[in-house]
Structure 1
Amino acid sequence: MPDTLSFAFFTFAIPAVLLVGLSKGGIGGAIGLLGVPLMSLAVDPVKAAAIFLPILIVMDIVALWSWRNFNDRKTLLMILPGGIIGIALGWATSAYVSDNALRLVIAAATLLFTVRYFWQVYGPRSNRPAAPLPHRPAAATFWGALSGYASFVAHAGGPPFQIYVLPMRLDPKSYTGASIRFFAIVNAVKVIPYFLLGALDAENLTISATLLPVALIATMLGAAVVKHLKAETFYPMTYGLAFCAGLKLLWDGLPF
């Protein structure tokens, strides 16, 4: 067994996988951002991301089954091409672009996006809420690409996806179904560059397999909870979690 399989490692790894599993189940994708940073307290970030990828793929399979009857096909088709472009860019530029710079860009966009939402909903003009936004092809490509890129480098593609999709105010079940399908495809595509970079070695795969039971339980629990949430509960919760994730990314990206 790898030396990584120690009590100290599991102290951080199990909570990290629980958070990502709940996120995959549908409880606010933003909390999944905490997974890699939390596991990085026990192993280096590159190894943490590599350990998470097989777990994410198994979680995706469970989540796809749990949400098989819910989707927003147009949203998925609009944002997915950008996601694939972002993965390709991440692979091509992984040796040249600072991870911290990317974290700061995503953090700034996410914090502005969530503050705007809460101002509209709870501010002085909350009695005149903004109308749901329609699909915007250019925005879908941009935010999809940023989501794919962030997902490749740190499994942190949730906030850019939310910035594009949440303002459309889809039914919570349709939103969650589209989100799960998008990231399931993105994670499957990521296997190729991760494998070519040598990140999916025997040790990392063994660790991933050890953590799988925790991942499966958390994913099913997340799906069960979200299916009983109403829109007026789901959206404030999701925006709130996105704001917390933005703060976490900002903290991680600051140079100190």
Structure 2
Amino acid sequence: MVVTLPDLGPLAWAALVVGALTVGISKTALPGANTLGIALFAAVLPAKESTGAMLMLLVVGDALALLLYRRHADWRVLARLAPSVVAGLLVGVVFLALADDAGVRRVIGAILLALVALTLWNRRRASARGSTTRGSHIAAASYGSLGGFTTMVANAGGPVMSMYFLASRFSRQAFLGTAAWFFAVLNLAKLPFSIGLGLIDLSTLALDLLLLVPVLAGGAIGWFALRRMSQRVFDVLVTLLTIAGAVYLLL
């Protein structure tokens, strides 16, 4: 069987390499950074096909994150999120089967911007009361369902859940450890759906194989950077990266 790669120019391949780098960085240092990768993949490939192309790279990134941060997860938070995430994931499967590429991008961009505003408002209100959203079942249901939906539709669940973990005031290690387990399980669960929808095939895997090294390099860069990053800088960068990715998807 002959496996063909997309017919892309040098600039398109450069965009894919940068996108793959952001996957590694997002898993080991800056959750939400892969929103840039999502945007770059969507600019080079059709939006739905780009979802499948990035999924296997995210699985590799998940393995890196588990290797580094698996012991820092908050399992109570993960258990609280599980039911709503599954519901959102199933809605995402239906939406992805029916929506066109432009609809996918605009819906995700609008959701991300709304979540940034909601998260910043919740953090400010929680600071005034001296509490967090970590124990809130309403917050878990809201963010969890949106996280499941957006991760199925456009691999954009990272920014959504980043906003939840940010609102919960996780430390950097707890943030990355909880996110590592969350997305490792979720991305593996997405594989059968993505294959069934025709988003992953042998050509997709061949493309991802070429982009494996940039993912690993991005993971190393992220691990090195996180060790020199303060909690405040971490929080600000996660928020800014989410906003930038949302604006791009809308435009």
The reply to whether TM is greater than 0.5 is yes
Unpaired runs of at least 5, structure 2:
none
CA 1:86–1:238 in structure 2 vs 1: closer, same or farther (change >3 Å)? same
Specify the SS of the correspondent of 1:40: helix
> Alignment partner for residue 87 of structure 1, among 86, 89, 95?
89
**Quick check: 2:109–2:247 contact (8 Å CA) kept in 1?**
no
Deviation of residue 108 (structure 1)? Answer: 3.5
Specify the SS of the correspondent of 2:72: coil
Find the aligned partners of 1:105 and 1:5 in 2 and give their Cα distance. 29
**Quick check: 1:114–1:243 contact (8 Å CA) kept in 2?**
no
CA 1:6–1:134 in structure 2 vs 1: closer, same or farther (change >3 Å)? closer
Find the aligned partners of 1:249 and 1:41 in 2 and give their Cα distance. 10
**Quick check: 1:110–1:243 contact (8 Å CA) kept in 2?**
no
CA RMSD, 1 decimal? 2.5
How far does the alpha carbon of each residue in 1:217-255 deviate from its partner, in whole angstroms, 9 at most, with x for none?
Answer: 11232123224433233222222323323333433xxxx
Matching residue's letter, 1:113: L
Identify the residue that residue 199 of structure 1 maps to in structure 2: 199
**Quick check: 1:26–1:223 contact (8 Å CA) kept in 2?**
yes
Find the aligned partners of 2:168 and 2:14 in 1 and give their Cα distance. 39
Q: Bigger shift: 203-212 or 88-97? A: 88-97
> Alignment partner for residue 56 of structure 1, among 52, 55, 58?
58
Deviation of residue 207 (structure 1)? Answer: 0.4
> Alignment partner for residue 25 of structure 1, among 24, 28, 35?
28
Q: TM-score, normalised to structure 2's length?
A: 0.86
Deviation of residue 47 (structure 1)? Answer: 1.9
Find the aligned partners of 2:73 and 2:225 in 1 and give their Cα distance. 17
User: Is structure 2 residue 142 aligned with structure 1 residue 103?
Assistant: no
Matching residue's letter, 1:102: V
User: Is structure 2 residue 218 aligned with structure 1 residue 218?
Assistant: yes
CA 1:171–1:111 in structure 2 vs 1: closer, same or farther (change >3 Å)? closer
How far does the alpha carbon of each residue in 1:181-222 deviate from its partner, in whole angstroms, 9 at most, with x for none?
Answer: 111111111101011112211111100111101111112321
Identify the residue that residue 124 of structure 1 maps to in structure 2: none
Deviation of residue 53 (structure 1)? Answer: 0.9
User: Is structure 2 residue 22 aligned with structure 1 residue 11?
Assistant: no
**Quick check: 1:86–1:145 contact (8 Å CA) kept in 2?**
yes
**Quick check: 1:71–1:174 contact (8 Å CA) kept in 2?**
yes
Identify the residue that residue 242 of structure 2 maps to in structure 1: 242
Q: TM-score, normalised to structure 1's length?
A: 0.84
User: What are the within-5 Å matches in structure 2 for residues 227-238 of structure 1?
Assistant: 227-238=227-238
User: What are the within-5 Å matches in structure 2 for residues 100-249 of structure 1?
Assistant: 100=105, 102-113=107-118, 116=121, 131-249=131-249
Deviation of residue 76 (structure 1)? Answer: 1.6
Deviation of residue 174 (structure 1)? Answer: 0.5
Identify the residue that residue 45 of structure 2 maps to in structure 1: 43
**Quick check: 1:108–1:250 contact (8 Å CA) kept in 2?**
no
Identify the residue that residue 254 of structure 1 maps to in structure 2: none
**Quick check: 2:147–2:161 contact (8 Å CA) kept in 1?**
yes
How many residues align? The count is 245
Q: Bigger shift: 202-211 or 101-110? A: 101-110
CA 1:158–1:23 in structure 2 vs 1: closer, same or farther (change >3 Å)? same
Deviation of residue 101 (structure 1)? Answer: 5.1
Deviation of residue 117 (structure 1)? Answer: 7.1
Find the aligned partners of 1:189 and 1:78 in 2 and give their Cα distance. 18
Find the aligned partners of 1:144 and 1:73 in 2 and give their Cα distance. 14
Deviation of residue 139 (structure 1)? Answer: 2.1
Unpaired runs of at least 5, structure 1:
122-126, 252-256
Deviation of residue 99 (structure 1)? Answer: 1.7
**Quick check: 2:116–2:239 contact (8 Å CA) kept in 1?**
no
